[in-house]
Amino acid sequence: MIIVALDPPQNVDVEKWIKIRYDELKEYVQGFKIGVPAIIRVGLEGLSKIFKDYSGLLIADLKLADIGDVMALTASIVGDYGFNAVIAHAFVGYSQAVDELSKTCEKKGLKLILVVSMSHRGSEEFIDKHLESFVEIAKRVGSWGLVAPATRPLIIKRVRELIGSEVKILSPGIGVQGAEPGTAICYGADYEIVGRAITHSENVKQSALKIIENQKQRVAKCRG
């Protein structure tokens, strides 16, 4: 299960860059994740036109980390432009923060995805030390999904133990950051997030199909 991170490089026509990759990949992957730089460069209206007929996961990767009112308003706005999921940080806490965001997501039909660990080494300095507390926040608000890194699969395993089987785990770090396709799923993730290994390749479709096949092979092996 693949979610493609659409993070355009500098010095490209961003709207065209995203549309080409969306058209090439939409039949083969389960969703797309759009980060802050691309949202700023293309704009919500431009993105809504590109993805207007898409029924898969369309994630606004804003990594929201503010008071509840601000996060709720931001989620409401992106929902109006066709996004059906939003990523926020759990570290801002529950009261007057993630609790208010979750209520807005429920009203707008948005899937709330909370970051409980990240794929870079700096996550170990603070975020990972509070992993269990962040997972508890996700439980309290009924989060649809959690972000945990493919680069540290034992974190994924621990998150799955803590959260149970119903909540989705999305794992970034496949490809350029070093994790092999299928690794995160073998440790309990539902989706692997892949960016540059697909989107910056010369043949986007071929690269995606190769990663999907590698993922299937590794998962088949680890699950026996």
Domains, the chain: 2-222 (3.20.20.70)
Is residue 105 within 8 Å of 138, Cβ to Cβ? no
- pLDDT value of residue 178: 79
Task: Write down the catalytic residue from 26, 49, 63, 157.
Answer: 63
Task: Write down the catalytic residue from 19, 61, 128, 168.
Answer: 61
Instruction: Reply yes or no on whether 80 is catalytic.
Output: no
Instruction: Reply yes or no on whether 99 is catalytic.
Output: no
- pLDDT value of residue 66: 97
The crossing angle, in degrees rounded to 10, of helices 131-141 and 153-163 is 40
- pLDDT value of residue 125: 87
- pLDDT value of residue 176: 76
- pLDDT value of residue 122: 85
Residue 195 annotated as binding site: yes
- pLDDT value of residue 128: 83
Residue 164 annotated as binding site: no
Q: What is the mean pLDDT of the chain?
A: 94
Instruction: Reply yes or no on whether 66 is catalytic.
Output: yes
Considering the entire predicted model, what is its pTM? 0.94
- pLDDT value of residue 119: 79
Query: Sign of dihedral through CA atoms 6, 187, 111, 98?
Result: negative
- pLDDT value of residue 47: 97
Query: What backbone phi and psi angles, to 5 degrees, belong to 33?
Result: -120, 125
- pLDDT value of residue 223: 85
**What are the residue ranges in the chain where pLDDT is below 70?**
none
Task: Write down the catalytic residue from 26, 52, 53, 66.
Answer: 66
Cα–Cα distance measured from residue 138 to residue 118, given in angstroms and rounded to the nearest whole number: 15
- pLDDT value of residue 38: 95
